[in-house]
Amino acid sequence: MRERARDQGGPGTLTDDLAIPEVDPSAPAGEPLAELAARYRLRPSAARPGVFAYARQLWERRHFIVGFATARNVAMYTEARLGQLWQVLTPLLNAAVYYLIFGIILGTNRGVPNFLGFLITGIFIFNFTQRAFITTSRVMPDSLPLIRALPFPRACLPVGYVLIELEQLAMAMVVLTAIVLASGEPLTWYWLLAIPALAVQGVFNVGMGLFLARLGAGADDFSQLLPFLVRTWMYASGVMFSIQTIGSLRNHPALTYLLQINPAAVYIGLVRNAILQSQRLAWPGSKPYDAANCALYHAGKKAYLEYSAYCHGTVPMSGLWLWGIGWAVVALLVGFVFFWEAETRYGRG
Partner 1 sequence: MGSGPVVDGAAPTVIVDDLHVVYRVYGAGGDKGTAATALMRVLKRQRRPSVREVHAIRGISFVVSHGDAVGIIGRNGSGKSTLLQAIAGLLPPEQGCVYTSGQAALLGVNAALLDDLTGERNVVLGCLAMGMTPQETKERYQSIVDFSGVGNFIDYPMRTYSTGMAQRLRFSIASAKNHEILMIDEALATGDANFRAKSHERIVQLRAEAGTVFLVAHNLAEIEASCNRVIWLEKGKIMMQGEDVPAIVDAYLEATGGEPRKRDKPTQNEHNASA
Footprint of partner 1 on 14-53 (CB under 8 A) = 14, 18, 20-21, 24-31, 33-34, 36-37, 40-47
C-alpha 341, offset from chain centre = 20
CB of 64 to partner 1, least distance (A): 4
CB of 66 to partner 1, least distance (A): 9
Footprint of partner 1 on 53-72 (CB under 8 A) = 60-61, 63-64, 67-68, 71-72
**Which of 100, 149, 255, 281 touches partner 1 by CB under 8 A?**
149
Under 8 Å CB-to-CB from 271, ≥6 apart: which residues? 121, 125, 194, 197, 198
**Which of 51, 53, 74, 333 touches partner 1 by CB under 8 A?**
74
Choose between 25 and 107: whose C-beta lies nearer to partner 1: 25
By CB under 8 A, tell whether 80 contacts partner 1: no
Choose between 7 and 290: whose C-beta lies nearer to partner 1: 7
Choose between 27 and 292: whose C-beta lies nearer to partner 1: 27
DSSP character string of 239-295: SSS-GGG-GGGTT-HHHHHHHHHSHHHHHHHHHHHHH-HHHHHHSTTSS---HHHHH
Choose between 67 and 300: whose C-beta lies nearer to partner 1: 67
Half-sphere exposure of 140 (CA within 13 A, CB side): 28
Looking at residue 216, its amino acid is G
| Cα–Cα distance, 157 to 210 (Å, whole number) | 9
By CB under 8 A, tell whether 220 contacts partner 1: yes
| Cα–Cα distance, 241 to 303 (Å, whole number) | 17
DSSP state of 48: P
Burial (0-12, 13-18, 19+ Cβ within 10 Å), 273: buried
Choose between 118 and 339: whose C-beta lies nearer to partner 1: 339
Give the H/E segment covering residue 88: helix 86-98
CB of 47 to partner 1, least distance (A): 8
Stretch that binds partner 1, among 11-19, 188-196, 234-242, 319-327 (CB under 8 A): 11-19
CB of 232 to partner 1, least distance (A): 23
| Cα–Cα distance, 279 to 132 (Å, whole number) | 26
By CB under 8 A, tell whether 145 contacts partner 1: yes
The residue count for the chain: 349
Q: Are 124 and 259 in contact (CB under 8 A)?
A: no
Choose between 71 and 199: whose C-beta lies nearer to partner 1: 71
Residues that bind partner 1 (CB under 8 A): 3-4, 6-7, 10-14, 18, 20-21, 24-31, 33-34, 36-37, 40-47, 60-61, 63-64, 67-68, 71-72, 74-75, 78, 145-152, 156, 220, 344-345, 347-349
